Amino acid sequence: MLALGLASCDSKEEILYQQYVVEGRVLYQTHCANCHQENGSGLKDLYPAISQPALWKSLNTDELTCLIKWGRKGTKGYMPGNTKLQALDIAEIQTFLREQWGPQKAIYSLDSTRFALKKCETTL
Amino acid sequence: MCSKSLFAAILLCFFGLLSCQEKHDLPFLGPKTLNATGDTVYHQIPPFRFLNQDSTWVTEKDMEGKIYVADFFFTTCPTICPKMKTQLLRIYERYAANDVVRILSHSIDPEFDQVSVLKNYANKLHIEAPRWNLLTGDKKAIYAIGQKSYMVAAQEDSNEVGGFVHSGAFILVDKNRHVRGIYDGTKEEDVNHLIEDMEKLLGNK
């Protein structure tokens, strides 16, 4: 993983990707790790684990953007929204989550985040 | 070579023993007063009465002969509470077979955190009373005992995320309801100290 990252460091996208991951990690630790824990294992039945590969196969990233921004009262409990987080913050968190647990280790772009945020605002 | 390492080993043993024998007694925290006969009277948690997740009253009488850890939280708290609960779980699990140890978690949002809400939270955390009591009750009484007796911040503040300001403190209380230590419940290392101090109070050290 590391070797791959270093080898392709010359490409601009790769640098941006690494930057998103690093900033996303910090944001994750501040806004998410309290509940889901640093390693994504969750806390008993109170806060769900978010590290299982199966979850990431079925997860819709646009919905996740809305979940991060606006929160949800679902079957597993209540996740508060993070209304102060901006599109860039969310893009970085999403990229970090993918890098950790997602099937595709790729950037979640700012444009995708903005687009997703528009959609959830209109459905609210 | 060999004798050197032997020497080192002896030195290590020596210091090891020293530090074991040295008895660090825990302090008595809070204001002290003198009674009529001139003896020091230590700050003591006053009588209290709150409802737990099983809708049972918990009072200071239930803490007779127990040492306990007290904290303040609310079930919808998005910030430090989950961290505190992770750390309290360590204590709960460590002393699973020890009936002398109790945990009292007071809700600072008792209007929302009714018994049924606390019950649901307890179930999801897989914890049970009487070893770990989640407490609700009169808001003024909870804030008063938090500020005056346990000496930690607990109040409403609409500027805070979640609507309350409160400290992440864990308060260690001995069998006579004296406060013997205050720790940062969001930090693993600090909770390690708490566990060491609990061992001392239990006479294991």
Q: Two tokens at A67?
A: 């979940």
Q: Report CB contact under 8 Å: A43, B82.
A: yes
Q: Report CB contact under 8 Å: B86, A37.
A: yes
Tell me the Cα Rg of chain B.
20
Confidence of residue B107 (pLDDT cuts 50, 70, 90): very high
pLDDT confidence of residue B17: 46
Which residue spans within B56-119 are E strands per DSSP?
Answer: 57-59, 67-73, 101-107
Closest alpha carbon within chain B to A38: B83
Contacts of B121 in chain A (CB under 8 A): 46
Tell me which of B89-93, B161-165, B172-176 is least confident: B161-165
Contact B132, B89 (CB under 8 A): no
Tell me which residues of chain A, numbers 13 to 42, contact chain B at a CB-CB cutoff of 8 Å. Answer: 34-35, 37
Q: Report CB contact under 8 Å: B85, A78.
A: no
Which comes out higher in pLDDT, residue B38 or B19?
A: B38
Chain B nearest-CA distance from A46, in A, is: 5
Helix axes B188-201, B81-94, angle to 10 degrees: 40
Quote the percentage of chain B above a pLDDT of 70. 84
Chain A nearest-CA distance from B86, in A, is: 7
Distance CA B69, CA B142 (A): 16
The model's pLDDT over A76-94, given as tens digits with 9 standing for 90+, comes to 988 999 999 999 999 999 9
The owner of tokens 């606390």 is B118
Q: Report CB contact under 8 Å: B82, A46.
A: yes
Confidence of residue B13 (pLDDT cuts 50, 70, 90): very low
Nearest alpha-carbon partner for B59 in B46, B69, B71, B70: B46
The SS3 call for residue B155 is strand
pLDDT confidence of residue B18: 45
- Which residues of B lie inside 8 Å of A (Cβ-Cβ)? 76, 78-83, 85-86, 89, 121, 123-126, 162
Instruction: Residue B66: count other Cβ atoms within 10 Å of its Cβ.
Output: 18
pLDDT, mean of residues A44-61 = 92
pLDDT confidence of residue B115: 98
Q: Is the ipTM of this complex over 0.85?
A: no
Cis? peptide before B130, omega within 30° of 0: yes
The model's pLDDT over B30-79, given as tens digits with 9 standing for 90+, comes to 999 999 999 999 999 999 999 999 999 999 999 999 999 999 999 988 78
Reply yes or no on whether the pLDDT at B161 is more than 80. Answer: no
Contact B193, B170 (CB under 8 A): no
Domains and CATH numbers, chain A: 18-123 (1.10.760.10)
Confidence of residue A22 (pLDDT cuts 50, 70, 90): very high
Tell me which residues of chain A, numbers 68 to 87, contact chain B at a CB-CB cutoff of 8 Å. Answer: 77-78, 80
Cα A79–A85–A91 angle (5° rounding)?
Answer: 95
Q: Two tokens at B11?
A: 């030195």
Contact B91, B69 (CB under 8 A): yes
Quote the percentage of chain A above a pLDDT of 70. 89
Reply yes or no on whether the pLDDT at B159 is more than 70. Answer: no
How far is CA B100 from its chain centroid?
13
Which comes out higher in pLDDT, residue A1 or B45?
A: B45
Chain A nearest-CA distance from B185, in A, is: 13
Distance CA B87, CA B195 (A): 11
Reply yes or no on whether the pLDDT at A57 is more than 70. Answer: yes
For testing contact with chain A, the best of B73, B83, B112, B118 (most A CBs within 10 A): B83
Which comes out higher in pLDDT, residue B81 or B135?
A: B135
Contacts of A80 in chain B (CB under 8 A): 76, 78, 162
Domains and CATH numbers, chain B: 45-201 (3.40.30.10)
Contacts of A70 in chain B (CB under 8 A): none
